[in-house]
Structure 1
Amino acid sequence: MYIVQYSPTIDTFLPVKSLNWRQDYLSQGVDLSGIEVIENDLLLISRARLEVENQAKRLLEQGMEIQNPTQVGTALQVFYNLGSLRETISSVVGGYRTTIKDNINSALDIKGLTQPTNPRGAPGRAVLPTPGNTAAFRAALWTHLEKLMDQICAACRQVQHLQKVLLKKRDPVTHVCFIDEIIKDGQPDILYTFWTDVTSTLSEEFHRATEASSFLKQAFEGEYPKLLRLYNELWRRLQQYSASLQGALTSGAGIEASLDISATESDTQDLFTHGKQDYNPEKALKDSLQPYEAAYLSKSLSRLFDPINLVLPMGGRNPPSNDELDSIIKTISRQAAYLPDVCLTERHHSDTIPPLDVMLELNVASVDPNLALAVSKNAAKTVQLFCVKSEQLLCTQGECSQVIGPLTEGQRRNVAVINSLYRLQQAVNKIVSGSGVCVPPAAEALSSCLEAVQVLMSSAVQPLLQSVSDSIEAIIITLHQEDFSGPLSNPDKPDVPCSLYMKELQGFISRVMADYFRHFQCVDFIYESTESIAQRAIELFIRHSSLLRPLGEGGKMRLAADCAQMELAVAPLCRRVSDLGKPYRMLRSFRPLLFQSSELISSSLAVGELFPCSTLLHFFFTRAPPELKSPHQWLDDHPSERDRLSLIRGALEAYVQAVRARQGKEFAPIYPIMLQLLQRGSSV
């Protein structure tokens, strides 16, 4: 019995199960020690096995390095035949884990970060960071971290490639999938184990390093967005590689058919979550950053609150100046735009907010949606704090609503508060609407806080608006003190001057707009508020004009002149009188109604659509005999059209009873027209 001597290679020993079988056969159940021929044979087999293992290891390393599935599959087949597949995979992956841990320690090593390239002095002496070289220290830190991310990415890619080949490779004889050999007995798959170890190592080593060095801790907390950007970029690269790897192996490009790498159900699965559908690998990666994110957000909120608390201290009574407000707006803009303060250049104090093009030039395109949302919530809290502080400054006493004399001190303070709220609102709106600066969830968080600003502005100006509206109503009501019952004084000269109350109304509105509202910077907001006053003023004018009794021909002419002057009176309250909508159309249509017959008015298309039936019915009372009395109830106490028609119905019924009581033979000509119009309005 003898053994043929030869040099084993991967090609000649691909079916290397014979090595294991031959060695087991020769030594099974028998002590063959001392037999020279057998010992030589066993020695030859051991050497051949070792040589095959070494060649397979080199082939596996080379295949993983150049991402060649054929070489990796060949090497894995050898280890499977040798019965050492699981141990080999564990050793290879363990080596990557050890390398990554060493890379992390090297990247965070204070000596490596602070040692100059050509140090002066004793060798090995570390130069600790000082305020003078902090910038250089942080530049070196981020360079090391970028290199670390490249190293982690490279290792993960190789393990991903190994995992994918294991998922697809089957033994050509037994058809056993290699991944099943690895994860049998409940063992997790290699990529899940590897990624879990990598993320936990990152968390542990970062924590250890930051606890040992305050400079590292300050860098991670102060420039957390940079750190998060590196993590996001790492994850993006891994996902891109995973997608390209699945596509390459699924297509089978460059893979030898003899390797039996076939398509499986896992081709479309994420390699990180294979068999772990409830596992989120991206979250596991970013969880290692939680302490630094929490610290960054806390400092962000503090940076946002500080200028407000400084400008508006507890018990203060002065609104912020323009420069102080600029400082607050800049701080909010910086944080909401996802910019750490260290990345910003100084701007001139007159800049209200950073222009959007400047923001885009400052390399903030890679925004993490979750962090942007958290920072935007901080900005929203800041706006809410500013609203609370501003509300405490508002004057709520009687002087804030006076419209008789010049602006009081309280009114001036209210104007300043509203102007500051408006400028803050405009700044936040610019951030929200800026393309590429604010992601949608963050924009929603900022938009929600603007509602509180709008509500506070409205409540702050409401006392003044209400006082103006009440004064206008009081002036319009005085038209009942004037005489509209007379005939035309001079039929040859129909031009009639407007009434005294109208002149007073025009003077009051002009004075109010000049003395009180011109100080507000929020022109659109003020017009939106005063337009409603103008609309109500027109409605009151038409309503009370329809109640005038008696109304002579001269009164009609003067009332028609008042209609024209009413447009001029309310003009200061709006940009264009035509923008007032339905009240403006009512005013334009009411003037010709003064001279139309009752029959023509009742059949007009404007009835119900433009003019409420109750308004025209009140106007018809002016054409009725004194026996048909107008309703006495105040119309503002009955805003419902149905209630107003009910009051008019009661007046008509009282008239019918009065006629019957005096045994009258006929009703006034206007009565059937009014009754028909009443029925028309009640049927709607």
Structure 2
Amino acid sequence: MVDLELENDAITKVDANATIQEQIQELSKRLQNVNDDLHQQVREKHGALLQQATHAGRFDVALNNLASDVEQIRTAGHKLKTQIDTQYQQVDNQTRVLGHLHELSHLLRSAGTLLSLTAKLRSTRDVLKQAEIHYELAQLVDDEDLKKIEFVQNARSEVITSRQKLRNLTQMQLVTGLQERNEAQVVNSLKIFKNFNTLQKSLENLVATFITDLEQSLKECFAGTDISLLSKVDAHNSASSKTSTAIRGPGKTPMLTTTQNFRAKFWKSLHWLLYEELSESCEQVNLLKRSLDQIRQLGFDASESYDVHKHFWQAVQKLLRKSFAESPGHVTQTLQEGLAKLLTSARGLEERLGGEFLFEKDIFFAFEVGYISKCAANMKASLAGVDLPSNETVDNFIRVASTEISAALIDARLTNTVAAVFISCGRELCTRLEAQIKLGADSKQVVDIPNFQQTQNVLLANILYYYKDSVRRMLSDLKVHFSKSKTSAERDIVKSLEQSNILISTILQQIMDSILSTISIILLSMHREPGLNSEKISTSGPSMYMKELQEFISRVWVNHIGHFEDKEIVSRCGHELAKRCIELFVHNVSILRPISHAGRLRLKSDCAHMEQALRPICANLPDLGNPARLLRALSFLIVQPPEELVKQSIGSESLVPSYIVLFLLFGHAGPELQSPHTTANWSTERLIEWLEGHTSVREKLELISGALQRYRDQVRRKNSEQYDDLYPLIVDFFEKSIQA
């Protein structure tokens, strides 16, 4: 086959320029070659060709046999199909006949059941049993096939009429049972509706009726009608009464009334609507819920998907939101200004219903802005036009604030908001008083009787105290209500009084600073006290500086501090002043040099007189704690020899700081071992000031270390081999103090 293809290719490539005769000859030659090649290949493959020809014959015979078999199968299939079709047609005809017979039998049986149940219904007087029969008749009466049968039409009509009458009667019994709180009657009515398959629809209609009545009452309330006087006995009478008394016809002159009368009627009607009518509806819904639970327990499959309690209350709140949003402007204003009354009625309803029906928190939010504005206006009105508030101003402000906060206590959120308004107004009151406070040299002088500025400051401080005390009394009166409302208002108001405390403390503190400065000058005079280095000094009675201190404190406390009425802050400031006085006294006594043994006894006596001097400031000195104990410890240490002083404990357990003990040891040393401030070329005043400004014990020990180092250097420069007898004791105690 390959050679043949090559030949064909050769033929096609014959030169086109050759003559026709030459081309014919060439083609003939090549065809002869092809023919020879074919014969040669046939001879070479003669056996294979014969074998293939034999197989082809056998295959042709097999195909003929297969075609014959297929034809036989096709013939048998046609015959079988004919037999099956015949049998199927017979079965199908018989099935249709049987179906018609079954339908007829069902119709006859249903008609018989309908007639028998109708007869049974006719002879039954028990309403509940009639409802059970109607439950069985429901599908039969609505059967479309039975409607076509004439002999059951009378029975069907009788059943339909009876069903309608029974439904109407049941509806009346349900309403009556709810009004009279007859749970058994309500349960029976619900069972009947369940047998009619109309329980959920009946409940929905009942809830819709409640909502419709409530909506109508809201309209009457917003119109200024006293709905508590309207008849609620009969639905028809109620409607006619409302038409005749409330609904105004076209062209009819409206009833004129004052704003005060309208609001009085409005709040009376709204309270009655919530506390009576809505409460009545809620109690009826609760009765419905209990009745539904009861019939479920009895095996009745009551409507599980319809929660009458939930749907009713959601519908009530939706109606209230809509009515409040669409109310006339004057009604909205009335609701805003009387939000506390509205919340009181709402909370009263919730408590009356035992918390089973709770209003959503945001349902009354729309009226808060107006109510808060009214509260703020009332509180600010009591402060209007007053530059210098007085006790009378405070009384008016507290009276208004107490009224507003008391009204708002019905709701925690509202209470917090009104309290915030009160805090803001109270801050404004304090700001006005703060603007009148006098500061400067004249307002803090203590060398003479109080001047005009100081008298003015005392008056302002007492007004602030009167305001603070009035607020506390107001909170005390309202404490029970605050505990019930569980609000943070009380805590916030108490915290806001800190501004008053700061202002009173500011007025007091400038006088306290001036008093302390004078006391410091008086105590410094002990360094000039004559005779403290003499053994002939008398130890009976106080020193001259102590007499001056006692007279000064007694006078200044009576003249400048005694007129402040806020004894709590005065006591607190007095305690701080007493602590500072003791600290100044201890520092001055510890650095006092030179001093004799008699002088030490006099200082010991002065410690006792110091306690007497501080009594006007602090009636019970032990209340000061460590400072009072330090003063008494000093009265003991001042007369102790150095050997006993170094036995004092060091560190956190020590009552007397180690630097005080070291100062006392320096007082027992010779003149060569100079005191730390003398070594540093400081005056006594500068040392006292430095000790006041540096509270770190280590810094004070470093000051003492400098004095000891300088003394060592001085001894070495003199080539002296003898130190002061107290030097080793001081160094040893100093090293222990540094380690501690």
Please, what TM-score do these two structures have when normalized by structure 1?
0.77
User: Partners of 1:159 and 1:88 in 2: how far apart?
Assistant: 13
> Which position in structure 2 is the counterpart of 1:316?
none
Q: Deviation of residue 179 (structure 1)? A: 1.9
Q: 1:656 aligns with which of 712, 727, 737?
A: 712
Q: Report the secondary structure of 2:258's partner residue.
A: coil
* Alignment CA distance shift 1:67-1:130 (3 Å): closer
Structure 2 match to 1:640: 696
Q: CA 1:79 to 1:171, structure 2 compared with 1: closer, same or farther past 3 Å? A: farther
Q: How does 1:421-570 map to 2 (within 5 A)?
A: 421-434=464-477, 435-439=479-483, 441-483=488-530, 486-489=533-536, 494-496=538-540, 498-570=542-614
Q: CA deviation at 1:454?
A: 1.3
Q: Is residue 666 of structure 2 the alignment partner of residue 621 of structure 1?
A: yes
Among 611, 624, 648, which residue is 2:656 paired with?
A: 611
How far the C-alpha of 1:193 sits from its partner, in A, is 3.0
- Residues 442-474 of structure 1, C-alpha deviations (whole Å, 9 max, x = no match): 211211111222122222322222122122112
Aligned-residue sequence identity (percent) comes to 27
Could you tell me which residue of structure 2 aligns to residue 386 of structure 1?
429
Contact 1:621 1:629 in 2 (8 A): yes
Q: Which amino acid aligns with 2:437?
A: L
Q: Is contact 2:225–2:269 with CA below 8 Å preserved after alignment?
A: no
Cα distance in structure 2, aligned partners of 1:549 and 1:230: 81
> For the residues of structure 1 that align with 2:190 and 2:423, how far apart are their CA atoms?
57
Deviation, structure 1 residue 547 = 0.3
Q: Which of the residues 586, 600, 610 maps onto 2:630?
A: 586
CA distance in 2 between counterparts of 1:311 and 1:410 reads 20
The question of whether the paired residues in 1 share the 8 Å contact of 2:187 and 2:294 is answered with: no
Hey, what's the Cα distance between the residues in 2 that align with 1:87 and 1:99?
Answer: 18
Matching of residues 89-128 of structure 1 within 5 Å: 89-112=203-226, 127-128=255-256
Determine the structure 2 residue equivalent to 1:298: 373
**5+ residue gaps in structure 2?**
1-111, 231-244, 678-686
1:529: how far off?
A: 0.7
Aligned to 2:257: 129
Per-residue Cα deviation, 1:92-120 (whole angstroms, up to 9, x for no partner):
2111111111222233332548999xx9x
Q: Which residue of 2 aligns with 1:345?
A: none
- 330 and 63 in structure 1: CA distance in 2 versus 1, 3 angstrom threshold: closer
Closer/same/farther in 2, CA of residues 126 and 453 from structure 1, 3 Å limit: same
Which residue type is aligned with residue 154 of structure 2? N
Q: CA RMSD in A?
A: 3.3
Residues 334 and 680 of structure 1: CA distance in aligned 2, closer, same or farther (over 3 Å) = farther
Q: Which has the higher mean CA deviation after the structures are superposed, 68-77 or 440-449? A: 68-77
- 2:481 & 2:286 partners in 1: Cα distance? 35
Name the amino acid aligned to 2:258: T
Aligned partner of residue 130 in structure 2, secondary structure = coil
Kindly indicate whether residue 714 of structure 2 is the aligned counterpart of residue 671 of structure 1.
no
- Given that 1:484 and 1:548 are in contact with CA atoms closer than 8 Å, whether structure 2 keeps it comes out as no
Partner residue, 2:348: 233
Q: Determine which of 323, 330, 338 is the counterpart of 2:407.
A: 338
Deviation at 1:420?
1.0
Q: CA deviation at 1:391?
A: 1.7
**Counterpart position of 1:152:** 278
Contact 1:307 1:327 (C-alpha < 8 Å) held by counterparts? yes
Partner residue in 1 for 2:310: 192
**Counterparts in 2 of 1:496 and 1:39: CA distance versus 1, 3 Å:** closer
Deviation at 1:430, TM superposition (A): 1.7
Aligned counterpart, 2:100: none
Alignment of 1:393-408 (within 5 A): 393-408=436-451
Structure 1 equivalent of residue 130 of structure 2: 13
The answer as to whether partners of 1:171 and 1:178 remain within 8 angstroms in 2 is: no
Write the distance in 2 (CA, Å) between the matches of 1:449 and 1:20. Answer: 73
Deviations 1:262-304 (A, max 9, x none): xxxxxxxxxx6xxxxxxxx422xx6443343332221111211
In 2: Cα distance, 1:374 partner to 1:679 partner: 63
Shift of residue 551, structure 1, vs aligned partner: 1.0
- Asked whether the 8 Å contact 1:499–1:562 carries over to 2, the reply is yes
Tell whether the 8 Å contact from 1:335 to 1:379 is kept in structure 2 after alignment: no
Q: Which residue of 2 aligns with 1:261?
A: none
Alignment check: 8 A CA contact 1:57 1:75 kept: yes
Q: 2:197 pairs with 66, 77, 83, which one?
A: 83
Distance in 2, matches of 1:113 and 1:126, equals 17
Tell me the residue number matched to 1:282: 359
Query: Is contact 1:114-1:137 (8 Å) kept?
Result: no
Compared CA separation, residues 321 and 74, structure 1 to 2 (3 A): closer
Contact 2:554 / 2:616 at 8 angstroms: preserved in 1? Answer: yes
1:129 is paired with a residue whose SS is: coil
Match of 1:310 in 2: 385
Q: Is the 8 A contact 1:115 1:126 kept in 2?
A: no
Distance in 2 between the 1:12 and 1:190 partners? 26
User: Measured at CA, do residues 671 and 416 of structure 1 come closer, stay the same or move farther in structure 2, by a change above 3 Å?
Assistant: same
Q: Give the distance between the partners of 1:650 and 1:228, measured in 2 at CA.
A: 76
Instruction: Tell me how far apart the structure 2 counterparts of residues 466 and 208 of structure 1 sit (CA, whole Å).
Output: 65
User: Does 65-74 or 638-647 show the bigger shift?
Assistant: 65-74
Task: State the 1:484 CA deviation.
Answer: 5.1
How many Å apart are 1:428 and its aligned residue? 1.2
- Measure how far apart 1:387 and its partner are: 1.8
Query: Is 1:38 the counterpart of 2:166 in the alignment?
Result: no
Instruction: Give the counterpart letter for 1:478 in structure 2.
Output: S
Q: Which one has more relative contact order, counting CA pairs under 8 Å at least 6 apart?
A: 1
1:576–1:160: structure 2 CA closer, same or farther, 3 Å change rule? same
- Partners in 1 of 2:280 and 2:521 — Cα distance? 82
Give the CA deviation at 1:70: 4.4
State the match for 2:91 in structure 1.
none
Q: Which moved more, 1:579-588 or 1:86-95?
A: 579-588
Name the residue aligned to 2:47: none
Higher helix share: 2
For residues 582-623 of structure 1, what are the alpha-carbon distances to aligned partners after superposition, in whole Å with 9 as ceiling and x for unaligned?
A: 322322332232322222233246995321111111011011
Q: Whose radius of gyration is greater, 1 or 2?
A: 2
Structure 1 residues 335 and 52, CA gap change in structure 2 (3 angstroms): closer
Per-residue CA deviations over 1:135-161 (Å, capped at 9, x if unaligned) read x65554443233212111111222233
Q: Which residue of 2 aligns with 1:205?
A: 323
Q: Deviations over 1:486-539 (max 9, x none)?
A: 32227xxx4455443333323332332233222222233212212211221111
Contact 1:300 1:335 in 2 (8 A): yes
Name the CA distance, whole Å, in 1 between partners of 2:130 and 2:179: 23
1:578–1:602 distance in 2 versus 1, CA, 3 Å:
same
Match of 1:162 in 2: 288
Secondary structure in 1 matching 2:668: coil
Per the alignment, residue 343 of structure 1 pairs with: none
1:485 to partner: Cα distance: 5.3
Match among 175, 181, 184 for residue 61 of structure 1: 175
User: C-alpha deviations, 1:278-335, integer Å up to 9, x for none?
Assistant: xxx422xx644334333222111121122223212xxxxxx32332332223223333
Q: Say yes or no: does 1:24 pair with 2:101.
A: no
- State the shift of 1:636 in Å: 2.4
Q: How many residues align?
A: 587
Distance in 2 between the 1:95 and 1:539 partners? 84
Matching residue's letter, 1:626 = P
Judged with a 3 Å threshold, the aligned counterparts in structure 2 of structure 1 residues 590 and 111 are, in CA distance, closer, same or farther, namely closer
**d(CA) in 2 for partners of 1:497 and 1:151?**
87
User: What TM-score, normalized to structure 2?
Assistant: 0.72
Amino acid at match of 1:337: S
Tell me, in whole angstroms, the C-alpha distance in 1 between the residues paired with 2:432 and 2:694.
Answer: 40
Instruction: Name the SS of the counterpart of 1:571 in structure 2.
Output: coil
Q: Tell me by how many angstroms 1:230 deviates.
A: 0.9
* Contiguous gaps of at least 5 residues in structure 1: 183-188, 243-271, 273-280, 313-318, 340-365
The 2-side partners of 1:657 and 1:51 are apart by 127
